[in-house]
Chain A
Amino acid sequence: MTSAEAALEETPNNTGRLSHEPDEAELSCSASAWLLQMSRSQFPLLGSALLLLAVMLISLGLGKYPISVKEILLFLGQKYFGVSYFSADRMRLLNSIIMEIRLPRILAGALIGAALSTSGAAYQAMFVNPLVSPSLLGVLAGASFGAALGIVYLKSWFAVQVSTFLGGLIAVMISVGIARVYRVNTTIMLVLGGIISGALFSSLLSLVKYLSDPYNQLPTIVNWLMGSLTLSDRSQVIKTSIPICLGLCVLLLLSRHLNVLSMGDEEARSLGVNVQRVRLIVIVCATVVSALTVAIAGTIGWVGLIIPHFVRMITGPDNRKLIPATILIGAAYLIVADDISRLAFSYEIPIGIVTALIGIPCFAFVLRNARKGWS
């Protein structure tokens, strides 16, 4: 501990210097002492990891054939640690339900949730704008267009991934470009740019739908763009998870840079950051991870906007804490949303509808809460 830290510790409430404003000062200092403790400890990160684990365990048991958490744990114990509890038949049944049906879907959900939320957090930090997200910047619309185009005209899965990513990248370039061309760097301009870019790609998507074969291709495109984890094919999920995980790792490693970028370009440069290079890396990574979720599961909106906001309330805006916590909480959130889409009604509804129905009221609430910081 340094002498300065020691000085701070000696006066835990530290009201001495602020005694001219006793009420407010005491309040803010006890709050800041609490924050100090919270941020010193790794509580948010550990808590989110435990939450994700719990959500995964419970979700493994949810479905038409419910399995208790105890049974899941015993099953895992028997499978991996040689505990003997279930009969061979029962083991086979549990194995096919847990390992072959539910686990891949839960992992896909976790991946998509982490990807959408983290790219939202990264865009928000980089554009110094808490109102942007993959969907508001038009990335999801661009990616949908790219993916639909890929489904209709391209054959290989890899080509579909590439066209999905390119669609997303062009969309984000257009939203950012509109603000750049008019040299107006405001929250509202970026949001408007995103609306324009999103509208452009929605109409292009309609064009692709119109031109596609109405018996085979059109239903596939429509169903899949509504957002669902049902259609996700396991080998495709595995292939897509590689670039997504890489993108997430880079964003995680660049969290310090994101902090500096959110002080504005000139300051970031004066702090020795190569702004253009870092910005390009962040845009590419955030766009790769969010666009590729479209390739796995269609358009799932509102996650990239809501989750970073929610996590920021717990960890504060420091991206070194925000990004890892967002990965974990975003993953847990999407698994829960998928549980709802599977179980809320007698048949499955698209997860994109669930996230929108949860996200919209949350956003309306957050909008009111965070208003003061957005001037």
Chain B
Amino acid sequence: MSLFQVDSLSFSYRRVPVIDGLRLTIDEGMVIALLGPNGSGKTTLLKLLLGLLKPARGLIRLRGKDIHDIPRRELARQLAYVPQVHREAFGFHVFDVVLMGRMPHSSFFSRYGAKDEQIVWEALEKLGILHLAKRPYTEISGGERQLTLIARALAQGVRVFVMDEPTNGLDYGNQVRLLERVGRLADEGYTFVFTSHHPEHALAIADRVVMMQSGAIIRDGAPLATVTPDKLAELYGLPP
């Protein structure tokens, strides 16, 4: 059974269609890059895949079940959202941010236990950010924040990571370091679906590239076959 099965998916934002009749199948264990110009619907597709938006038409199946029939808590044990790096008002410790990943594993009024904390320490260690554990999240660099959010996804105990422009706002060195981390996790069998504005990042770690334009998929295939100068020119509307 495939991980995601998306059928004739449509979504409009204030009556403007953003996604139109999209079909997509995603298998477990793959690293999938979504490329496309601004406004092509990449981020909307991610949010639909996460069940954060409700499609106007069409169906998204996660492991065979309609994603909107899966309760939020259960969904959070199967899928993790790694948002774009942000800076929020409150400087929670990195440890406490990662601990939030344990939220779907505890009941409404309960507290985090020693097991949750141990899982957090392991996630921090795996991403090489143990030394940041007690630093405020607002005072670390963008790359470190992105690693923190990935660690949180890991602590969620999921096998599937959905990432929105993970390298956005990072300098070149941090981009490379982040891609290396993602590549290493992918080798362990984790699934990644990520959007990017950098075709070379798709070449570096993706197993499959999906190119989107005006809410539809125009090309879908192996990185070496899709990320070519003429196809990129077509995708981004550049002169050939």
Contact = CB atoms under 8 A, between A and B. Distances in A.
Interface of A: 2, 4-5, 7-8, 14, 17-18, 28, 32-33, 35-36, 39, 125, 128-130, 187, 253, 256, 259-260, 262-264, 266-267, 269-274, 316-318, 320, 373-375
Contact of B81 (A187, A266, A320): A266
Contacts of B122: 2, 4
A266 B83 contact: yes
B86 interface: yes
A130 B89 contact: yes
B99 to A, nearest CB: 8
B111 A271 contact: no
A262 B87 CA distance: 11
A5 B101 contact: no
Contacts of B103: 256, 260, 271-273
11 contacts: A2-B117, A2-B121, A4-B121, A36-B134, A262-B92, A267-B81, A270-B81, A271-B104, A272-B74, A272-B77, A316-B92
B15 interface: no
Interface in B47-102: 47, 50, 52, 72-77, 79-81, 83, 86-93, 96-97, 100-101
Contacts of B109: 253
Given A4-B121, A273-B72, A317 B47 contact: no
Nearest to B135: A32
B89 A4 contact: no
Interface stretch (B18-26, B123-131, B177-185, B214-222): B123-131
B121 A128 contact: no
A374 B131 contact: no
> For the complex, would chain A's binding face be called helix, strand, loop or mixed by DSSP majority?
helix
Given A4-B124, A35-B134, 10 more contacts: A4-B121, A8-B133, A129-B89, A256-B106, A266-B47, A269-B52, A270-B83, A272-B75, A272-B76, A272-B104
Nearest to B149: A267
B81 A318 contact: no
Given A5-B121, A260-B100, A270 B80 contact: yes
B100 A8 contact: no
Contacts of A4: 118, 121-122, 124-125, 130
B128 to A, nearest CB: 9
B112 interface: yes
B147 to A, nearest CB: 13
Contact of B76 (A125, A262, A270, A317): A270
Contacts of A267: 81, 83
B89 A262 contact: yes
B12 interface: no
Q: Which of A28, A269, A272, A273 has the most CB of B within 10 A?
A: A272
Contact of B86 (A36, A187, A264): A264
B88 A318 contact: no
Contacts of B133: 8
A162 B202 CA distance: 59
B168 interface: no
A2 B89 contact: no
B156 interface: yes
B93 A316 contact: yes
Contacts of A375: 87
Contact of B156 (A33, A271, A316): A271
A262 B121 contact: no
A39 B135 CA distance: 12
Interface string B129-153: 0110111101000000000000000
Nearest to B122: A4
A263 B100 contact: yes
A273 B100 CA distance: 11
A264 B88 contact: yes
B72 A128 contact: no
Closest 10 CB pairs of A and B: A272-B76, A272-B104, A4-B121, A270-B81, A317-B90, A272-B73, A271-B103, A4-B125, A32-B134, A2-B118
Contacts of B104: 271-272
Nearest to A262: B90
A7 B125 contact: yes
A28 B124 CA distance: 19
A363 to B, nearest CB: 16
B121 A317 contact: no
B131 A373 contact: no
A40 to B, nearest CB: 10
Nearest to B73: A272
Q: Which of B52, B106, B131, B136 has the most CB of A within 10 A?
A: B131
B89 A128 contact: yes
B90 A125 contact: yes
A8 B106 CA distance: 26
B80 A39 contact: no
Nearest to B80: A270
A263 B85 CA distance: 11
Contacts of B47: 266
Contacts of B79: 270
B75 A259 contact: no
B52 A270 contact: yes
Nearest to A5: B121
B135 A318 contact: no
B89 A259 contact: no
B152 to A, nearest CB: 8
A18 B131 contact: yes
A123 to B, nearest CB: 13
Q: Which of B47, B76, B90 has the most CB of A within 10 A?
A: B90
Contacts of A256: 103, 106, 111-112
